[in-house]
Amino acid sequence: MTAPVVASTRAELAAVLAASRAAGHQVGLVPTMGALHEGHASLMRVARKHVGDGAVVVSIFVNPLQFGAGEDLDRYPRTLEADLELCEREGVDVVFAPTVEEMYPGGAGADMTTVEPGAVADVLEGASRPGHFRGVLTVVAKLFGLVRPDVAVFGQKDYQQLALITRMAADLCLGIDIVGAETQREPDGLALSSRNRYLSGAERLAATTLSRALRAAQARAAYGLPAARWAAMSVLKSEPSVEIDYLALRAADLGELPDYPEPGTLGRVLVAARVGTTRLIDNLEIVLGKA
Ligand code: PAF
């Protein structure tokens, strides 16, 4: 195994990527905020599949722009050494780990250009975390500009984020192939997340309620939205330590659905909830219909 080249400045990144480009190799980007786990490793493998012997670049940057006041920016885990080991194990070629000053050299004040997402950013996560997706799209656009990847891989666990980034790439004609990779789960169903490490033992057990609720909705989806919603809500409400933020059943593009869509319509059930002080999100595909 060869250790990845670590670039912490934009100039270093440009220098290492120039060689790849000169050799005509494809570049695949996996943007992350670090605290890497198996879920991220699976994104790296998807990127590798896409670029073959090209360069897989992982960015590690806790982006202050996407955290609201009172959110977990300060306590967000920063584990660079372990992250680099995981990247090495996965055969990553380049890790870009800039400082905040390097990413936002002029500061991130009101005069900075940001990316304004479309209306899909106003619901679900966007309604609970105002400004979050502006911060996400802005940093992702900057990473795209710095890395100029052929393909970029994001997890389906952040389904709304994936939808908005896919839309940004299309609407702004960025010419980057956006790939959504399957959510990775613990054997008991809990979706892998860097935030799982905040959970105490009891909270960790309670956290499985989210994926159980999603599966309950999935199992009832053929009977229409009301039945699926009721099934998921019953599971969520059975665990008093889970504070529900939202449970939503939406079309695959996150638009609204009628209660009884055409049989076979693909949708998504999405949940956000607080377990103790930790806010978790998860989602699953559902196949809707009328039994
Ligand atoms: O999903 C994440 O880890 C972040 O939102 C991302 C895409 C790296 C942007 O900071």
Q: For residues 228 and 103, state if they share a domain.
A: no
Where is pLDDT greater, at 68 or 19?
68
Where is pLDDT greater, at 139 or 288?
139
When pLDDT is averaged across residues 95-117 and rounded to a whole number, the result is 95
In the prediction, which pLDDT does 225 show? 96
What share of the chain has pLDDT > 90, as a percent? Answer: 95
Where is pLDDT greater, at 194 or 289?
194
Write the CATH number for 14: 3.40.50.620
**Residue at a domain's end among 133, 155, 181:** 181
Q: For residues 201 and 261, state if they share a domain.
A: yes
Q: For residues 137 and 203, state if they share a domain.
A: no
In the prediction, which pLDDT does 217 show? 98
Q: Give me the chain's average pLDDT, please.
A: 96
Q: For residues 138 and 261, state if they share a domain.
A: no
When pLDDT is averaged across residues 227-244 and rounded to a whole number, the result is 98
- Does residue 135 have a pLDDT over 70? yes
Choice from 62, 78, 158 to test ligand 1 binding pocket (greatest atom count within 8 A of CB): 158
Taking the centre of ligand 1 as the mean of its atom positions, its distance from the CA of residue 230, in whole angstroms, is 32
Instruction: Based on the residue annotation, tell me whether 40 is a catalytic residue of this protein.
Output: yes
Task: Report yes or no on 187 lying in a domain.
Answer: no
Confidence of residue 20 (pLDDT cuts 50, 70, 90): confident
Q: For residues 174 and 231, state if they share a domain.
A: no
Domain that holds residue 176: 5-181
Taking the centre of ligand 1 as the mean of its atom positions, its distance from the CA of residue 61, in whole angstroms, is 8
Q: For residues 57 and 149, state if they share a domain.
A: yes
Confidence of residue 291 (pLDDT cuts 50, 70, 90): low
Three-state secondary structure string covering the chain: CCCCEEECCHHHHHHHHHHHHHCCCCEEEEEECCCCCHHHHHHHHHHHHHHCCCEEEEEECCCHHHCCCCCCCCCCCCCHHHHHHHHHHCCCCEEECCCHHHHCCCCCCCCCCCCCCCHHHHCCHHHHCCCHHHHHHHHHHHHHHHHCCCEEEEECCCHHHHHHHHHHHHHCCCCCEEEEECCCECCCCCECCHHHHHCCHHHHHHHHHHHHHHHHHHHHHHHCHHHHHHHHHHHHHCCCCEEEEEEEEEECCCCCCCCCCCCCCEEEEEEEEEECCEEEEEEEEEECCCC
- Does residue 129 have a pLDDT over 80? yes
Q: For residues 213 and 81, state if they share a domain.
A: no
Task: Report yes or no on 14 lying in a domain.
Answer: yes
Q: For residues 122 and 199, state if they share a domain.
A: no
Count up the domains in the chain and report the number: 2
Task: Report yes or no on 188 lying in a domain.
Answer: no
Q: For residues 103 and 203, state if they share a domain.
A: no
Which residue's CA is the closest to the ligand 1 atom numbered 1? 32
What would the pLDDT profile of 37-93 be if each residue is shown by its tens digit?
999 999 999 999 999 999 999 999 999 999 999 999 999 999 999 999 999 999 999
Write the CATH number for 251: 3.30.1300.10
In the prediction, which pLDDT does 189 show? 98
Q: For residues 41 and 113, state if they share a domain.
A: yes
Q: For residues 167 and 226, state if they share a domain.
A: no
Q: For residues 14 and 76, state if they share a domain.
A: yes
Taking the centre of ligand 1 as the mean of its atom positions, its distance from the CA of residue 157, in whole angstroms, is 11
- Does residue 195 have a pLDDT over 60? yes
Confidence of residue 290 (pLDDT cuts 50, 70, 90): low
Task: Report yes or no on 174 lying in a domain.
Answer: yes
What would the pLDDT profile of 238-271 be if each residue is shown by its tens digit?
999 999 999 999 999 999 999 999 999 999 999 9
- Ligand 1, atom nearest to 165 Cα: 7
